[in-house]
Amino acid sequence: MLERASPLAKGASRTVLSLRSCGRMVQYHAWPDTYTEMAGLVARTCGVAADPAPGKAAHGAAGSLLRIHPQRLWLLSERMEAVEAALEARVGVSLDLSHARSIIRVAEEIAEPLLSRFIAIDLRPHRFAVDDVAITPLHRVSVVLWRRPNGIDILVPRSFARSTWDLLAEIAERRG
Amino acid sequence: MTGYRLKSGGAIDRAKPMAFSFDGKSLHGFAGDTLASALLGSGYRLVARSFKYHRPRGIMSAGLEEASALVTIGGGARATPNSLATTEELVDGLEAHSQHCWPSLRFDLGAINQLFAKLFSAGFYYKTFMGPGKSPRSWLFYEHFIRRAAGLGVASRAPDPDHYESRETFCDLLVIGSGPAGLEAARIAGEAGLDVILAERDFRLGGAVLHERDGIEGMASDGWVDQRARSLAAAGIRILRRTTVFGLYDNGVAGMVEHLTPGARARERLWIVRAKHIVIAAGAMERPLAFGGNDLPGTMLASAMRAYVNRWAVAVGSSVVIATNNDSAYAAACDLARVGVSTVLLDARTMVSDRLKERSKIAGVDLRLGRVPLRAIGRRGVRGVEIGTTERGGTEVLSCDALGMSGGWSPTQHLLSQRGVKPIWNDTLAAFLPGEAREPIRCAGAAAGLWSAEDCAQSGRAAGAEAARALGGNAPTEDFPAPGGWETAIRAWSLGPVKGKAFVDLQNDVTLGDVRQACAEGYDAPELLKRYTTLGMATDQGRTSAVNALAVIAEARGRQLPEIGTTTFRPPFAPVSIGALAGAERDQHLLPTRRSPMHDALTAQGAHMLETGLWLRPWFYPQGAEDVDQAYLREMRLVREAVGICDVSTLGKIAVQGPDAGELLDRVYVNGFKSLPVGKARYGVMLRDDGIVMDDGTSWRLGEHEYFMTTTTAGAGKVMAWIEELLETRWPELRVAVTSVTDQWAGASVAGPQARALLQAVLSDVGMTNDAFPFMGVREGHFGGVPCRIARISFSGELAYEVYVPADHGAALWHALLDGAKARGGAAYGLEALGALRVEKGHVGGPELDGRATLDDLGLGKMASTRKPFIGGVLRRRSDLQGKDRPQLVGLVPVTKGETFKGGSILCEAGNDGGHGLGWVTSVTESPSLGHWVGLGLLRGGLTAWQGREVIAADPIRDRSTRVKVVTPHFLDPEGARLHA
């Protein structure tokens, strides 16, 4: 099996920024009248107690579920062999997006001051708390933000990952 | 005598001298100075030349309302023209230059314009260079000279070496201004638990309180401000000094620019604040008076004189005359007299309160009631003033070296005006007061027409409490004081006779006579007057001139001032640098860049990359010293003769899933897809609603409920957004999900006679024979253990496949294919060869899909299904789109074999190569297979009218014409033998 390659040039790293692949990422899409059924099925399969509310993430044995759309859930898992829910077309469809996004982690100490240069969301911890999720443009690129216990993860389309990284790294470096 | 620094007093730090230069001369001021206060303290009066007449100008204010003292700060690439000397914080090493003068500020040849002042009256350009009977070339010719003769400073053309930042932030309450109203509003709201931001343009908090000598609420001004600042800090209020709010927008959004101190990591910071509530406590601006020579250096607003003496310990002269029509100038006169300046106060009113008279007397002010200035006397600065009574009698000349003026006050409500709130004229105060906002925005302090510091503080407390209660906080109800605060009513506008040039707008050199003339010529509405005379334009945006101009219009029309109306102030309230707006989004970060998963592999191979939209794509792969023309022809030959590989990861890719996936594709494509068997691909074209071709590509059926749609690289975003819109708005009943998977898959095209053999070696579990994998077939297999999908489709006309693997494995796929290609005599090919191959084959591409062509124009009309409806299917039948003489796709070859022709050439009949011609050349290439150039074009009447005939490909820009023959666009292998091989 081939090893996965990073969208960044080799050797690029910063102490306050890191980049990794999604591991396993699956999108579940329900029809307008089947969301509850689909979300319940997906949550059970992934070991999540309850499917997440809009703009939230929830965690289970198979990974984390992110509610990023009225009819969509994303399953993210560090493991490639993550358990996946099998959906009947009547209920919804699933789609592998494991390579579509890269994850840039911005360390907590710099997350709000760095990202507030580009993002019109109140990222202060009491407003954008752990496991809050939002879709927003970052330098004209649609990204998903996910507050983690030690920083903010930016799920950026892979083709934009290096450009986004370069921008954030340059600004972070200027801040010392 | 000119201005001088007092031996004591002021809020400057005399222990910290600051060296600076003006026009190359070394000077010094102190920490806490502005450039203006340091220049005045150094004895400077002449600091600028005026916009149109190049008249000598000095410093007329102490703040943002400055209309005259515009200078250039810094040099070289950092030069910032049109900076206000009055707001520029003095820092060690500051370098300032006068602008718009030559050869020097003192002797400016441009001053010759004053001799032609009568010519340059209102509407000069329009009357002289435009309109009936004037040649259109006239203005174009003279404009260059006029712009050189008139204007402001000149910006550097060098790239800006500084960095700029931007910040988005949020708060409950944004307080604009830190005078007594702003400080109290912030304090009360902060203590009630609100999240407050206080923005102050100045580098010190306090606003007009800093100019007070009398103190506020029983405390010295400095002490009161310091105490409040400590309270704000204790309440956790975010205080932004040196920060100008330049615009208020929908939903409580405010735009602000923070000027950072030298040595900071950026020069300026743009703030976008989203506030639930806003308090505007931006103070008020004093208006000048209109009398002859009211622009001479040494003339100044009375409040500015007071500010300089109290805050900066600078006396603007040793002998001062101040003219006023209201109470406020009395404080200025008294403060000047107290520091030993000989002060005469002219009050246009004949009656004032006994208290004011007594106060003047005690301070030693020579008070003269019922007197007005008629004309300032002097050449490069004030030497005296001719005064008279309001009834035009009893003229007298007073000697002085500074002349103050106070024509009343205008509350600063530009920001409120930006929100569409109309101001309300108050006759008693002779001022526009803020109207009621429909949004949670409140004016407080002098911005609401309150003239005493105590009233301002009280209104701030009321505004802060109001905001706190509105946002669920606990704060007691406070009363808003009534506007006003003077003991004797202002004597509005009319001051009697005027001698000489009296300026209404100092920055734009618009005189009283200009305004009256414009009114006489019919330009007597504020917006018309502004454009006819330039009044209220440029950096000051009519801050000091607007009300005075309205009063002149009212007088000229015989109407009351409120009947005249006002102009609407628009953002920005103060100039904002382009650098601040751009922030970090410049140079390589101007736009984000998209890179293919194979990017590093391509560049390592020596690919010359080309920006196509946001993508970087391989243009060509030079060998040795090859240029693009040599490289792409070699790459084409390799594809035709062996095998070539090309990165096609940038093509748009959309997963279409669900029970109604086929139905969706049937509706968006002109041809049918619902009946496409699993394991097959089909070329499709989609139209816009209006019947014009929008995009094309192939869609692959991967399963019963799943398709893989590809689009052009350029059309990917547009198509995705279009389909999402259709599903959201027109067909919500369809059970189908569309998701962009462009980033999920890396793709390569493998084309050429050796393509099958190459893929057979790389993909061991996919049957590649013609029977097992026919043309337009789709297969799934594995590459290096990871799943991949392959379709046998061709853009080049060769036996060709597209192979996709998950993006992180794209580079590995590329290396494997490249090794295999090289082993078979092939190589990689780039965008140039890709485009040339499709021209040889006669496939349409971006140049032909230009947003004007129809299916029939492109020879694809037969693709349109007659058995199902599709987007654009009705409107494509419009008679205009069905005309036989529409430009239609044709092939073009030069009549003389060795000749070349250019894309973009106009196709004309021989002997008639003028005008718009009959069509145009869309794409051309040299064809190594055919041995001559070939091209595609859109020609009126198409092949039906022109096949076999000659036309001229005219290239008027390069003055070239080539005879070309119209042929079928399928130049190479029209039977398709190669791609079916």
CA distance B15 to B554: 52
String of b and e for B438-459 (b: at least 16 CB within 10 Å)?
A: eebbbbbbbbbbbbebebbbbb
Region B592-601 average pLDDT:
97
Q: Is the pLDDT of residue B1 over 70?
A: no
Q: Is the pLDDT of residue B851 over 70?
A: yes
Residues of A in contact with B595 (CB under 8 A): 7, 159, 162-163
Nearest-by-CA chain A residue for B172: A122
CA distance B34 to B87: 6
- The interface pTM score, or ipTM, of the predicted complex is 0.96
Region B616-635 average pLDDT:
97
Task: Work out the pLDDT band at A80, boundaries 50, 70, 90.
Answer: low
Is the CB of B744 less than 8 angstroms away from the CB of A166?
no
Provide the chain B residues 271-330 that lie in CB contact (below 8 A) with chain A.
272, 274
Is the CB of B739 less than 8 angstroms away from the CB of A118?
no
Residues of B in contact with A27 (CB under 8 A): 739
Residues of A in contact with B274 (CB under 8 A): 120, 122
Nearest-by-CA chain B residue for A95: B655
The dihedral sign for the CA sequence A7, A11, A15, A20: positive
Contact assessment for residue B906 and residue B939, using Cβ atoms and an 8 Å cutoff: no
pLDDT at A9: 63
Chain B nearest-CA distance from A157, in A, is 6
Q: Check CB contact of B743 with chain A, cutoff 8 Å.
A: yes
B600, B741, B812 member nearest A100 (Cβ): B741
Residues of B in contact with A2 (CB under 8 A): 783-786, 809, 812
Nearest-by-CA chain B residue for A160: B594
Each residue's pLDDT tens digit, B131-178? 777 877 888 888 888 777 777 899 999 999 999 999 999 999 999 999
pLDDT at B598: 97
Provide the chain B residues 346-375 that lie in CB contact (below 8 A) with chain A.
none
CA distances from B80 to B77, B156, B576 (A): 9, 8, 11
Higher pLDDT pick, B43 / B122: B43
Nearest-by-CA chain A residue for B253: A120
Each residue's pLDDT tens digit, A84-142? 778 999 999 999 999 999 999 999 999 999 999 999 999 999 999 999 999 999 999 99
Q: Check CB contact of B786 with chain A, cutoff 8 Å.
A: yes
Each residue's pLDDT tens digit, B534-575? 999 888 888 999 999 999 999 999 998 889 888 788 999 999
Is the CB of B592 less than 8 angstroms away from the CB of A29?
no
Contact assessment for residue B473 and residue B194, using Cβ atoms and an 8 Å cutoff: yes
Residues of B in contact with A167 (CB under 8 A): 584, 589, 592
- Least confident interval from B491-495, B797-801, B925-929: B491-495
pLDDT at A83: 65
Residues of B in contact with A166 (CB under 8 A): 588-589
Is the CB of B596 less than 8 angstroms away from the CB of A141?
no
CA nearest neighbour of A76 among A166, A168, A153 = A153
Chain B nearest-CA distance from A47, in A, is 25
B267, B595, B649, best to mutate vs chain A, most A CBs in 10 Å: B595
pLDDT at B638: 97
Question: How many C-beta atoms lie closer than 10 Å to residue A133's C-beta?
Answer: 23
Q: Check CB contact of B611 with chain A, cutoff 8 Å.
A: no
pLDDT at B214: 84
CA distance B458 to B958: 74
Range of A80-89, B261-270, B603-612 with top mean pLDDT: B603-612
Residues of B in contact with A1 (CB under 8 A): 784-786
Of all helices (H) and strands (E), which one includes residue B232? helix B221-234
Mean of all residue pLDDT scores within chain B? 94
Task: Work out the pLDDT band at B714, boundaries 50, 70, 90.
Answer: very high
Residues of B in contact with A171 (CB under 8 A): 584
pLDDT at B496: 60
Region B8-31 average pLDDT:
97
Of all helices (H) and strands (E), which one includes residue B820? helix B810-823
CA distance B634 to B624: 12
B166, B742, B783 member nearest A117 (Cβ): B166
> Percent helix, strand, coil in chain A (nearest 5)?
20, 35, 45
Of all helices (H) and strands (E), which one includes residue B547? helix B546-557
pLDDT at B493: 60
Chain pair A-B, CB pairs under 8 angstroms: 131
pLDDT at B820: 97
Is the CB of B584 less than 8 angstroms away from the CB of A171?
yes
> In chain A, what is the straight-line distance between the N-terminal and C-terminal CA atoms, in Å?
40
Q: Is the pLDDT of residue B394 over 80?
A: no
pLDDT at B66: 97
CA distance B490 to B546: 18
CA distance A75 to A41: 13
pLDDT at A38: 96
String of b and e for B99-124 (b: at least 16 CB within 10 Å)?
A: bbbeeebeebebeebeeeeeebbbbb
Is the CB of A141 less than 8 angstroms away from the CB of B591?
no
Each residue's pLDDT tens digit, B740-775? 999 999 999 999 999 999 999 999 899 999 999 999
pLDDT at B764: 82
Provide the chain A residues 147-166 that lie in CB contact (below 8 A) with chain B.
157-160, 162-164, 166
Q: Is the pLDDT of residue B391 over 80?
A: no
Q: Check CB contact of B459 with chain A, cutoff 8 Å.
A: no
pLDDT at A2: 77
Range of A70-84, B177-191, B546-560 with top mean pLDDT: B177-191
Q: Check CB contact of B737 with chain A, cutoff 8 Å.
A: yes
Q: Check CB contact of A126 with chain B, cutoff 8 Å.
A: no
Task: Work out the pLDDT band at B822, boundaries 50, 70, 90.
Answer: very high
Is the CB of B589 less than 8 angstroms away from the CB of A167?
yes
Is the CB of A166 less than 8 angstroms away from the CB of B597?
no
Nearest-by-CA chain A residue for B600: A9
CA distance B193 to B181: 19
CA nearest neighbour of B409 among B326, B469, B351, B317 = B326
Chain A nearest-CA distance from B182, in A, is 24
CA nearest neighbour of B796 among B599, B632, B613 = B632
Torsion of CA B36, B41, B43, B45, to 10 degrees: 30
B344 burial (CB, 10 Å; 0-12 / 13-18 / 19+) is: buried
